Amino acid sequence: MMSLDMDLLAVGSPQDVIEKVAEHLDCSPTSREVAEYFDQHDKLRHLRQEFLFPKVAELPPSDLSLVNGSEECIYFVGNSLGLQPKNVKKYIDEEIEKWAKTGAHGHTMGSQPWAWAENNLEDLMAKLVGAKAEEVALMNGLTVNLHLLMLAFYQPTAKRHKILLEDKAFPSDHYAVESQIRLRGFDPSTSMLLLKPREGEDTLRTEDIVSTIEREGHSIAVVMLSGVQYYTGQLFNMEAITKAGQAQGCYVGFDCAHAVGNAELRLHDWGVDFACWCTYKIFNQTSMKDLRKKSILLTGYLEYLIKHYYSRDESEPHKPYVHIITPSNPAERGCQLSLSFSLPIRAIFKELEKRGVACDMREPNVIRVAPVPLYNSFTDVHRFITVLETVLAASIVQHG
């Protein structure tokens, strides 16, 4: 019997695995039996019990006339805010109690002295990002850290003053870059170099990023991209980009907020000059290798079902379809799929929320769906597809 600890590369693509399991079970690849089989053989399934899943009735947008409020919600919004680990309250209560009983002595006494709190976490965090413990510092918030890093690495000159970033970078990253350029006395209109996909394409090609760096490198002070692009879900080739930038004398850094815990990172080995991120998950109970292995199949399963049911069909022009803008190659994405629809997106998002699906919408035309391997199941994915069918049917009735 196959299980999720199989070598996916030996077995084949996620599609191959799904179809082999369906053949083994003698059922359709779209059957719920396939999802249940994957869940039964998921060696990480115990991690789900470490998190608190809101009930459908607890989510404010839920319409209890449409859905069973006692069920756990379908939580696919981990890229915005992950589920709360059950131990969070316990840890916080311990520190509140220590504060109550020892006051200022808590800074230097007890099992977790506050003054050196980060010392217990740096080794764990370094493993997540593929760095040495002495290369990692835990402090501040994401955008504050981004500013601090650029203050150190962005040292523009009259000839080398540009910062290279993606055209649709995370908004706060975009604003931070603008601020740093102005702070140094330059103009964002000439010092921000924005990368855009080719005409008719949704994501950036690595060769286009590299060629831009090679062409403009003499004027680029800093290359500052996402690890995983928040809008498209594209996982950038950080190793190739770092090598290309440094070959041109540029500093290269990444906002890894969507990449940490989502992809295997080796920031030290890749020679990345700087990076920042945010995370609060209890990852030391597993490994990024195992999480990534499950994630490739879990997101591949979501992709398989969406393409099966909702690919564009020219022979049925009135049938609603879903376009996945995230790269299909698992090596070029994390757990997130960014979906655009042939029907009005706001209506679809609203109907999903009414039915207990937690996902998020990003302007102008994307719903982000992120099955997180730490706590999401294959059955969650199958449930989502079932709900989506109902939502699209309701949208057709509303909009004709």
The CATH number covering residue 132 comes to 3.40.640.10
Which residue in the block uniquely carries the two structure tokens 């940490």? 260
Q: pLDDT tens digits for 53-101?
A: 999 999 999 999 999 999 999 999 988 899 999 999 999 999 999 999 9
Indicate if 109 and 167 belong to the same structural domain. Answer: no
Question: Which of 227, 255, 276 is the last residue before a domain boundary?
Answer: 276
Residues 381 and 310 in one domain: yes
225 in a structural domain: yes
Shared domain for 166 and 62, answered yes or no, is no
In this prediction, residue 283 has a pLDDT band, given cuts at 50, 70 and 90, of low
pLDDT top residue among 94 and 121: 94
Sign, CA torsion 290/295/298/303 = negative
- The reply to whether 218 and 267 lie within a common domain is yes
First CA to last CA distance, the chain: 47
Place of tokens 């391997």: 373
Does 233 share its domain with 293? no
Model confidence band, residue 315 (pLDDT cutoffs 50, 70, 90): confident
Query: Which pLDDT does position 282 carry in this prediction?
Result: 79
The answer to whether position 2 is within a domain reads no
Q: Kindly tell me if the per-residue pLDDT of 150 is higher than 60.
A: yes
Residue 328 has pLDDT above 80, yes or no: yes
pLDDT greater than 90 at residue 170: yes
Residue 286 has pLDDT above 90, yes or no: no
Mean per-residue pLDDT, 293-306: 97
What does the chain come to in residues?
A: 400
What is the structure's pLDDT at 388?
A: 96
Domain residues for 74? Answer: 8-82+289-399
Task: Please indicate, yes or no, whether the overall pTM of this predicted structure exceeds 0.85.
Answer: yes
| The pLDDT of residue 380 | 98
What is the distance between the alpha carbons of residues 101 and 308, in angstroms, rounded to a whole number? 60
pLDDT number for residue 400: 54
Q: Which long-range contacts (CB under 8 A, 24 or more apart) does 30-34 make?
A: 30/305, 30/308, 30/309, 32/379, 32/382, 34/301, 34/378, 34/382
Long-range CB contacts (within 8 A, 24+) of 8-16: 8/293, 8/296, 8/297, 13/300, 13/330, 14/296, 14/297, 14/299, 14/300, 14/301, 14/303, 14/304, 14/330, 15/300, 15/304
Query: What pLDDT was estimated at residue 2?
Result: 54
| pLDDT tens readout for residues 212-255 | 999 999 999 999 999 999 999 999 999 999 999 999 999 999 99
Instruction: Give the model's pLDDT for residue 280.
Output: 54
Rounded mean pLDDT, 257-281 = 91
Same domain? For 92 and 56 the reply is no
Does residue 1 form part of some domain? no
Model confidence band, residue 195 (pLDDT cutoffs 50, 70, 90): very high
Mean pLDDT confidence for 42-62: 96
Per-residue pLDDT, 397: 64
Measured CA to CA, the distance from residue 45 to residue 27 in angstroms comes to 23
Do 231 and 133 have their domain in common? Answer: yes
Q: What is the pLDDT of residue 263?
A: 93
Give the pLDDT mean for 111-137.
90
Average pLDDT, the chain: 93
Task: Give the mean model confidence (pLDDT) for residues 375-389.
Answer: 97
Backbone φ and ψ for 333, nearest 5 degrees, come out as: -155, 165
Q: What pLDDT is attached to residue 12?
A: 82
Whether 376 has a pLDDT exceeding 60, the answer reads yes
Q: How high is the pLDDT of residue 259?
A: 94
Residue 329 has pLDDT above 70, yes or no: yes
**DSSP codes of every residue in 83-105:** PEETHHHHHHHHHHHHHHHHGGG
